[in-house]
């Protein structure tokens, strides 16, 4: 069927639903097994429901369902990817179809990095008025059927909820049932999807007129009270932020103030000045909704996209609280889910462009220190997948080394850790440098519970002990410790800890000889792994009853 399979290639594709009939007729179907996310939402800290202001990204690009609709990837040159997951909380996939089901590749990539994914339920123009009249003016049975279907769809495809956007005027009968519908939808999503969310877009008022308020106020508060949050329109002024903060009270983090990166209308910031709007939003302790950050790709072009993307998010980093990983094992080859080649064990196995966000690996922090350090993606060389992580920087005169923070961690340290690192030094004198891992910890007693907006400074810096060869029980798993290849160096480490919590994982680049001059370095990271020795040594669970379906031979 054309809904589930591309008519040209027969490959499975992601899809949307148009209109009320398609929504109400939707049933799970064996043809759409490919669309079910295979990656559970990874745990992270702080939790989504903490009081810390959050960051939502609303992805709206050229109508949606572009190359990202191909569930098993495509040979796309210079595709759009998002990888600053450590800096955001919620990812919304937006399009103008009635029911936008997020393409499963996005759900997989976001979940692997601990980010919740929402689809969009939208009605607009005169067709929207008719649609709303049909299900809202029809009474409880009609709107409850819609709420139930939306909750079932999120549960079935394993994404995390909905942005609801009613962009048309409503009759008195329809608007009377809007808040009850939102309450019903929110309750159904909460019960069907663990950690599920429903967010309302600032559009229709309580009297049914369509008038964007650019704030939380008495005209739209009834909808904010009926669900998990409000996403405001983009044309706000600072006094509206003050008013919103006052009215939201303890729920201030549930207001996502809209920022249009394309800067349409009378807005503050946009483009590379988006930090101006974020600064104001954060001064009032509100959450932010960054709309269409694909501006970087659409407006500035595909050619230097990765460079421009790092610049865009680097400018915002000060206003984007980051997230910690709180489970082991942590293993990543930094692949973006795209490339100009596919690499395996450092060797270019297959040249040619490819794009598959489902295989994007866990993404690190991307620290930038003007002139001193930059972190970026390298597509030209990788250990595994399509890219490696390039660290470029300088070691200042008189200093021995530079630390590059890759991940913040927040979990009790197991008694013993194994760590592996694959790297490659580039530049004229690679032998002038050494590369190693550093783990920072704090004593368990100083661990802050509750509202972890600021964490105590680490009180332990550990340089794991280098192992010339992996211990016998782990030799198979850690085969990479024996050898790097194709110019990659492989290192294996062990670290024993007691009564402390893990805080940061960093890479240290050091000079072999002290120098009064500044020294530049370029280092590619191909893979990092942090493993709890006890769980690695245990034998893996047996897998039973494997079935294969939807086989197609070509």
CA distance linking residue 305 with residue 286, whole number of Å: 30
Give the per-residue pLDDT at 478. 62
Q: Are 60 and 292 in contact (CB under 8 A)?
A: yes
What is the token pair recorded at 118?
Answer: 């929402």
**Ramachandran angles phi, psi of 19, nearest 5°:** 80, 165
- Domains of the chain, by residue range, sit at 330-537
Q: What is the pLDDT of residues 367-392, one digit of tens each?
A: 988 778 999 999 999 999 999 999 99
Q: Residue 37 above 70 pLDDT?
A: yes
Please give the angle made by the CA atoms of 315, 318 and 319, to the nearest 5 degrees: 100
Name the band, by pLDDT with cuts 50, 70 and 90, for residue 462: confident
Mean pLDDT, the chain, rounded, equals: 92
What is the token pair recorded at 347?
Answer: 């060797």
CA distance linking residue 290 with residue 58, whole number of Å: 6
Name the band, by pLDDT with cuts 50, 70 and 90, for residue 473: low
For residue 311, count other CB atoms closer than 10 A to its CB.
15
Instruction: Name the nearest CA neighbour of 280 among 246, 237, 216.
Output: 237
Q: Residue 456 above 70 pLDDT?
A: no
What class has domain 330-537? mainly beta
Name the band, by pLDDT with cuts 50, 70 and 90, for residue 336: very high
For residues 237-255, average pLDDT: 97
Q: Which residue has the higher pLDDT, 442 or 553?
A: 442
Helices and strands (DSSP H and E) totals, the chain: 12, 24
Q: Residue 513 above 80 pLDDT?
A: yes
For 144, 343, 444, 501, 532, the CA distances from 411, given in Å and listed in that order, are: 41, 32, 10, 5, 12
* Threshold 0.85, pTM exceeds: yes
Bridging pattern class, strands 197-201 and 229-231 = parallel
Give the per-residue pLDDT at 448. 44
Percentage of the residues of the chain whose pLDDT score is greater than 90: 77
Q: Are 271 and 295 in contact (CB under 8 A)?
A: yes
**Percentages of the chain per state (helix, strand, coil), in multiples of 5:** 30, 30, 40
For residue 154, the Cα-to-chain-centroid distance in whole angstroms is 18
CA distance linking residue 489 with residue 435, whole number of Å: 10
Q: What is the pLDDT of residues 112-168, one digit of tens each?
A: 999 999 999 999 999 999 999 999 998 999 999 999 999 999 999 999 999 999 999
For residue 218, give every residue at least 6 positions away whose Cβ sits within 8 Å of its Cβ, in sequence order, or none.
247
Q: Residue 342 above 50 pLDDT?
A: yes
CA distance linking residue 263 with residue 275, whole number of Å: 12
Instruction: Name the nearest CA neighbour of 133 among 183, 163, 99, 169.
Output: 169
Q: Residue 446 above 80 pLDDT?
A: no
Please give the angle made by the CA atoms of 283, 307 and 490, to the nearest 5 degrees: 105
For residues 447-451, average pLDDT: 43
**Which residue carries 């405001």 as its tokens?**
232
Helix or strand (DSSP H, E) at 223: helix 221-226
What is the token pair recorded at 307?
Answer: 């460079």
Peptide bond into 46 cis (omega under 30): yes
For residues 296-302, average pLDDT: 95
Question: Across the strands, what pairs with 350?
Answer: 342
For 3, 64, 355, the CA distances from 101, given in Å and listed in that order, are: 13, 11, 20
Q: What is the pLDDT of residues 177-186, one digit of tens each?
A: 999 999 999 9
Q: Are 219 and 240 in contact (CB under 8 A)?
A: no
- The distance between the two most distant Cα atoms of the chain, rounded to a whole number of Å, is 78
Q: Residue 445 above 90 pLDDT?
A: no
For residues 84-101, average pLDDT: 98
What is the token pair recorded at 53?
Answer: 């202001």
Percentage of the residues of the chain whose pLDDT score is greater than 70: 94
Name the band, by pLDDT with cuts 50, 70 and 90, for residue 432: confident
**Which residue carries 């609709």 as its tokens?**
69
Instruction: Name the nearest CA neighbour of 425 among 514, 509, 505.
Output: 509
CA distance linking residue 283 with residue 281, whole number of Å: 6
Helix or strand (DSSP H, E) at 112: helix 104-112
Q: Residue 452 above 50 pLDDT?
A: no
Give the per-residue pLDDT at 468. 75
């Amino acid at each position: 069927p054309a809904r589930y399979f591309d008519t040209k290639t027969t490959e499975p594709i992601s899809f949307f639903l148009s209109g009320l009939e398609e929504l109400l007729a939707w049933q799970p179907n064996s043809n759409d097994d490919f669309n079910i996310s295979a990656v559970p939402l990874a745990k992270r800290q702080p939790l989504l429901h903490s009081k810390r202001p959050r960051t939502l990204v609303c992805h709206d690009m050229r109508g949606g369902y572009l190359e990202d609709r191909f569930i098993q990837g495509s040979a796309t040159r210079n595709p759009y990817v998002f990888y600053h997951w450590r800096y955001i909380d919620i990812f919304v996939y937006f399009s103008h179809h009635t029911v936008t089901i997020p393409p499963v590749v996005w759900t997989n990539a976001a979940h692997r990095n601990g980010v919740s994914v929402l689809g969009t339920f939208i009605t607009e123009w005169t067709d929207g008025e008719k649609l709303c009249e049909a299900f809202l003016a029809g009474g409880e049975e009609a709107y409850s059927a819609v709420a139930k279907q939306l909750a079932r769809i999120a549960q079935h495809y394993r994404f995390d909820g909905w942005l609801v956007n009613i962009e048309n005027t409503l009759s008195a009968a329809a608007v009377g049932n809007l808040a009850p519908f939102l309450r019903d939808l929110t309750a159904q999503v909460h019960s069907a999807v663990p950690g599920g969310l429903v967010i309302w877009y600032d559009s229709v008022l309580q009297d049914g007129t369509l008038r964007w308020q650019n704030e939380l106020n008495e005209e739209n508060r009834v909808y904010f009270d009926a669900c998990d949050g409000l996403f405001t329109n983009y044309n706000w002024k600072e006094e509206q932020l003050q008013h919103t903060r006052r009215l939201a009270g303890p729920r201030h983090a549930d207001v996502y103030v809209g920022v249009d990166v394309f800067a349409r209308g009378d807005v503050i910031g946009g483009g590379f000045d988006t930090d101006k709007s974020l600064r104001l939003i954060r001064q009032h302790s509100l959450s932010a909704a960054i709309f269409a950050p694909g501006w970087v790709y659409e407006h500035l072009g595909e050619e230097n996209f990765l460079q421009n993307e790092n610049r865009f998010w680097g400018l915002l980093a000060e206003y984007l609280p980051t997230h910690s990983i709180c489970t082991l094992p942590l293993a990543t080859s930094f692949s973006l889910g795209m490339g100009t080649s596919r690499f395996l064990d450092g060797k270019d196995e297959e040249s040619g462009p490819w794009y598959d966000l489902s295989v994007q690996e866990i993404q690190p922090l991307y620290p930038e220190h003007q002139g001193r350090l930059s972190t970026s993606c390298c597509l030209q060389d990788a250990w595994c997948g399509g890219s490696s992580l390039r660290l470029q920087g300088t070691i200042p005169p008189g200093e021995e080394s530079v630390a590059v923070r890759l991940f913040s961690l927040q979990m009790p340290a197991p008694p013993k850790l194994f760590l592996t690192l694959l790297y490659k030094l580039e530049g004229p004198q690679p032998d002038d440098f050494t590369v190693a891992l550093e783990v920072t910890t704090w004593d368990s007693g100083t661990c802050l519970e509750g509202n972890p907006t600021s964490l105590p400074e680490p009180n332990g810096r550990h340089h794991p002990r280098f192992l010339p060869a992996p211990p016998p029980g782990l030799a198979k798993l850690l085969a990479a410790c024996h050898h790097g290849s194709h110019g990659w160096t492989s290192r294996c480490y062990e670290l024993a800890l007691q009564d402390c919590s893990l805080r940061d994982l960093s890479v240290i680049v050091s000079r072999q000889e002290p120098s009064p001059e500044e020294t530049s370095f370029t280092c590619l990271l191909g893979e990092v792994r942090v493993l709890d020795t006890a769980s690695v040594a245990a034998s893996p669970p047996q897998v039973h009853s494997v079935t294969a379906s939807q086989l197609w031979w070509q």
